[in-house]
């Protein structure tokens, strides 16, 4: 599947960060070392390699947040192992800036942070303003007019979830009433926000039945009861002629409308890139790729 001249971008942790640096990290006020890479997709009839080649074009060292004076809504955890940090969101703004969310689970509580990356610099902000302690941002999407929509977990990465707007100036979350963001069912996983070229927003849901489904957020036709947008259920995702039982890790549209997903459906420990048929839900494997999130650049980037 051709992707034209557009750049599919992946984010991953920068493995050059030492163990001692990781142990001493101030998780509340520092984003980890991250690499942005371009994914070398084949064009036309070109054969797919077993592993897609990635070309690093930006490496970011641990970055201190610029709002350290803001107190996040945290509480010490009763059950605790080792600190764990994940890349939970990657999206692109119209000016070429990439925005990453990293989420850390620590003994002192959970922290989510925004990292903004452009061609010149990087900056980071702590996310705060949650309804309760230890909420986390589990997904991120920039709309066509660059509003940042997030999916917040009220339970350390698991349901219930709610949709929020994140203010890029101060990292504060709000209910998103101006966008009429829909209410999410409390017993379903909701993830993988993706923006189509025509401005429609898609996502995935996963419930107790164990089937991952595509959905569309309809923000124009609001519920008569709540006044909020609706969630329109689309096709179940199908992998090897069976419903996909575990969720995607990332979903994105190319500027020309092709749909790509990142997933590890066979629990191999290595993520793979897939093409997705938005009409049928068919998920077609392409190649393995060593990244945690994917998105398309909305502006040409210099390698």
- Percent over 90 (pLDDT), the chain: 63
Residue 201 domain-assigned (yes or no): yes
Residue 20 lies in a domain: yes
Q: How many residues does the chain have?
A: 303
* Average per-residue pLDDT for the chain: 88
104, 111 Cβ separation under 8 angstroms: yes
Q: How many CB atoms are closer than 10 A to CB 69?
A: 8
Model confidence band, residue 208 (pLDDT cutoffs 50, 70, 90): confident
- The predicted pLDDT at position 41 comes to 75
**pLDDT band with cut points at 50, 70 and 90 for residue 116:** very high
Residue 302 lies in a domain: no
Residue 49 lies inside a defined structural domain of this protein = yes
Q: Provide the number of structural domains found in the chain.
A: 1
CA distances from 232 to 38, 134, 142 (A): 32, 30, 20
Residue 142 has pLDDT above 80, yes or no: yes
Q: Is the pLDDT of residue 9 over 80?
A: yes
- Measured between alpha carbons, how far is 11 from 94 in angstroms, rounded to an integer? 18
Q: What is the mean predicted confidence (pLDDT) over 132-153? A: 95
Residue 51 lies inside a defined structural domain of this protein: yes
In a domain, 35, yes or no: yes
Q: What pLDDT digit, counting tens, does each position of 158-193 carry?
A: 899 999 999 999 999 998 677 789 989 999 999 999
Instruction: Check pLDDT > 50 for residue 241.
Output: yes
Cβ atoms of 150 and 161 closer than 8 Å: no
With respect to residue 3, please indicate whether it lies within any of the assigned structural domains.
no
- How confident is residue 244, by pLDDT bands cut at 50, 70 and 90? very high
Relative to beta strand 158-166, strand 173-174 is: antiparallel
DSSP string, 195-254: E-TTS-EEEEEE-TT--EEEEEEESSS--TTT-S-EEEEEEEPEETTEE--S--SEEEE-
| Residue 2: per-residue pLDDT | 36
What would the mean pLDDT of 54-62 be, rounded to a whole number?
88
SS3 163: strand
Residue ranges of the alpha helices (H) in the chain?
19-23
Strand partners for 90: 100
* Least confident segment among 10-14, 119-123, 133-137, 234-238: 119-123
Q: Residues near 124 by Cβ (< 8 Å), separated by ≥ 6?
A: 30, 31, 63, 64, 65, 66, 113, 114, 115, 116
| Mean pLDDT, residues 73-81 taken together | 78
- CATH code: domain of residue 262: 2.120.10
Cβ–Cβ under 8 Å, residues 128 and 121? no
pLDDT band at 7 (very low <50, low <70, confident <90, very high): confident
Q: How far is CA 225 from the centre of its chain?
A: 30
Please report whether residue 278 resides in a domain. Answer: yes
Please report the pLDDT score of residue 219 as a whole number. Answer: 86
Percent of the chain with pLDDT over 70: 89
Which residues constitute the domain of residue 34? 8-296
């Amino acid at each position: 599947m051709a992707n034209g001249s557009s750049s599919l971008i992946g984010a991953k942790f920068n493995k050059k960060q030492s163990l001692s640096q990781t142990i001493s990290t101030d998780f509340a006020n520092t984003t980890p070392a991250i690499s942005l890479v371009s994914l070398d997709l084949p064009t036309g009839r070109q054969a797919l390699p077993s592993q897609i080649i990635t070309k690093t074009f930006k490496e970011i060292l641990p970055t201190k947040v610029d709002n350290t004076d803001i107190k996040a809504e945290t509480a010490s955890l009763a059950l605790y192992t080792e600190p764990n940090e994940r890349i939970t969101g990657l999206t692109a703004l119209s000016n070429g800036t990439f925005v990453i969310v990293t989420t850390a689970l620590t003994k002192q509580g959970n922290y989510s942070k925004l990292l903004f990356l452009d061609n010149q610099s990087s900056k980071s902000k702590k996310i705060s303003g949650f309804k309760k302690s230890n909420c986390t941002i589990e997904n991120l999407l920039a709309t066509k007019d660059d509003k940042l929509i997030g999916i917040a977990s009220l339970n350390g990465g698991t349901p219930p979830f709610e949709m929020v707007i994140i203010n890029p100036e101060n990292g504060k979350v709000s209910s998103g009433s101006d966008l009429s963001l829909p209410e999410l069912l409390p017993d379903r996983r909701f993830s993988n926000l993706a923006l189509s070229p025509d401005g429609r927003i898609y996502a995935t849901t996963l419930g107790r039945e164990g089937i991952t489904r595509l959905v569309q957020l309809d923000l124009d036709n609001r519920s008569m009861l709540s006044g909020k947008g609706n969630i329109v259920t689309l096709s179940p995702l199908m992998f090897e002629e069976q419903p996909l039982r575990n969720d995607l890790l990332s979903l994105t549209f190319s500027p020309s409308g092709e749909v790509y997903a990142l997933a590890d459906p066979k629990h191999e420990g290595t993520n793979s890139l897939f093409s997705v048929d938005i009409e049928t839900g068919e998920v077609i494997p392409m190649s393995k790729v060593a990244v945690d999130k994917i998105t398309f650049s909305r502006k040409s980037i210099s390698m």
